[in-house]
Chains A and B, each alone.
Chain A
Amino acid sequence: MDYATLLQILDSTLRLTVPLLLACLAGLFSERAGIFDIGLEGKMLVAAMTSGSVAFLTGSAWIGLAAGIGASLLWALMHGIASITFRGNQLISGVALNFLASGMTILVAQAAFGQGGRTPPLAGSARFNEVALPLADTLRGVPVIGPFYADVISGHSLLVYIALLCVPLTWWVLFRTRFGLRLRAVGENPAAVDTAGISVSRMRFTAVLITGVLCGIAGAYLATALQAGFGREMTAGRGYIALAALIFAKWRPWGALWATLLFGFFQALALRPDVVPIPVAALEALPYVLTVLVLAGFVGKAIPPRAGGEPYVKER
């Protein structure tokens, strides 16, 4: 494998990592606040459909992004009402919302455009086009680092850089702000937070809505940046891989970046049978195998937030 091939693979890695990363950070906020969310997949799907449709109708990728986030927020709100307000089972609520998203997206897209649950192809400003970072061409001549900067780091859509910036932002919010401390506390020991006079349900709702925003960006990235329109089931299980990455990352923001980069790298590697003679199926299974290993305690210990999955009941 020569350097140019490696750069191509890393370029592909970055593109494939972004939806995983955004979904993983989304899950991080929710689960750190004690709400398990299997519905990342469904939220990404509704966001992809809505952003694809609205971007087509308005001709603006930004309005599409806003609409996608809006749709994802609606789904997040439903999950919040079911699992926080009504203290329902969080897993069941998530699964139900995934099914709802799977059916609704195709139904709505079909009713609106009559193209078999697809949204019409986007062009021009209705898509997030690739942006070249400053000095990309000037630095290309620098050995090793130049091509890496010009080919791998530069030349992606704006959403890629937004996603990468979300990692330090998430770290700062969770570990350096009062809000973050309370959010993590709600996921570990909600009773203590309640005693301190902070509303547990408000904290949890806020976390769930942040999850909605991040999933919305992930869905819009799929439909309006990577692809030019929504197609049925286009998330193809990325929400579930993100959950696996979350466990692998041990519920930490920087861990989420490395885990999703690793999973994205495996996915990119699986696209190049000429480079690695490993069967594609084996590479595709690797993220799950690694997650099982982590869960089994072979690679450090993955301890989920202590109050995760349990609805908070004030008094018994």
Chain B
Amino acid sequence: MLKALFGATALALTAGSALADPALIYDMGGKFDKSFNEAAYIGASRWVEETGGSYREIEMQSEAQREQALRRLAQSGFDPIVMTGFSFADVLRQVAPEYPDTKFVIIDDQVDAPNVRSLIFSEDEGSYLAGIMAAMASESGTVGFIGGMDIPLIRKFGCGFAQGVVATNPDARVLVSWTGSTPAAWNDPVRGGELARAQIGQGADVIYHGAGGTGIGILQAAADEGILGIGVDSNQNALHPGQILTSMVKRVDNAVYDAFSQGEGLEPGTYVLGLAEEGVSVAMDEHNRSLVTPEMEAAVADATQKIIAGEIQVHDYMSDDTCPVAGF
């Protein structure tokens, strides 16, 4: 016991004097996915610019690499180790207790361990705002949601969106499609484009996607067919200026930036980042300026206030695997 204690102190001392570098692991989909992982990269780059520090990064190429990558980084003394994506949760539950002196940060899932910070975004709240805008922009009264792989996390996006739509226009119809049930569903833009066309055929004139790389095809088809798309995770407004209503942005960049800035001293625990914490938002910039009416902005600002104040409760799909709006 005493020996272990000494060992720990010695390790803490050396770690403190050397000031370990942080590390960042990107999930499959890749660093430049114009979406989730890229947001993490942007946060890390901002930290590098401001502090001049350096960090190690690894991109996952296959499922089997996760555990190996985590262990290697922990053994090499990187601290903290940030990983993007819920897929790391199972591996982290095993690995975290073995390296009690290393801090881990997981985005998008919860791992209960004394040295892990879990960051969960309230995508339902951000998607709710996107739903309000979609309902107001739609002339046909039909809007669509296309998810990537059919998992509860993505249903959380879609359910929040549908609630926002229905709250704004109770008669609106929300179409729901899924790209697939395997990880390949994140990288099939052709199928995404056809799904978008199928929804357009059913009358949809605003389509929101939560489909990673598949979403590129969805937004392309929406632009080709002259309807509006809504981006996700990163600000995708610039992909088709004037044809993307907005993007539901998850501030993964801030999460990574904060973790890197706090370094080894970061506080473990579970944090939920919603509208109040500015963890999610709808993107407004010069690319969608012409599409956003003053009424839309007012409605979004109003809903934001009410959600923060607790007057509007957005139902979180993941809390009980149900959604108050049909289709999920």
Contact = CB atoms under 8 A, between A and B. Distances in A.
Nearest to B32: A116
Contacts, number: 80
Nearest to A232: B187
A116 B33 contact: yes
Interface in B136-190: 175, 177-178, 180-181, 184, 187-190
Task: Give the interface size bracket for B toward A.
Answer: 20 to 34
Interface in B14-58: 30-34, 38
B202 interface: yes
Given A227-B189, A280-B178, A121 B239 contact: yes
B32 A118 contact: yes
B202 A271 contact: no
A32 interface: no
- Among B180, B189, B220, chain A packs the most CB atoms within 10 A around the CB of B189
Contacts of A268: 194, 198
Given A5-B201, A227-B189, A273-B177, A118 B194 contact: no
A121 B220 contact: yes
A231 B34 contact: no
B131 interface: no
Contacts of A117: 30, 32
A228 B216 CA distance: 9
Interface of A: 5, 8, 12, 15-16, 19, 106, 110, 114-118, 121, 222, 226-229, 231-234, 236-237, 267-268, 271-274, 280-281, 284
14 contacts: A8-B198, A12-B198, A16-B194, A114-B32, A115-B34, A116-B30, A222-B190, A227-B190, A228-B220, A229-B216, A231-B189, A232-B187, A273-B177, A274-B202
Given A227-B220, A231-B216, A236 B188 contact: yes
A271 B30 contact: no
B77 interface: no
A226 B197 CA distance: 12
A283 to B, nearest CB: 11
Main secondary structure of the interface of B (DSSP, over half): helix
A234 B181 contact: no
A116 B198 contact: no
Contacts of B194: 12, 15-16, 267-268, 271
Nearest to A269: B198
A194 to B, nearest CB: 43
Given A116-B30, A117-B30, A231-B213, A271 B189 contact: no
Nearest to A231: B189
Nearest to B240: A121
Contact of B193 (A5, A114, A227): A227
Nearest to A114: B32
A116 B201 CA distance: 32
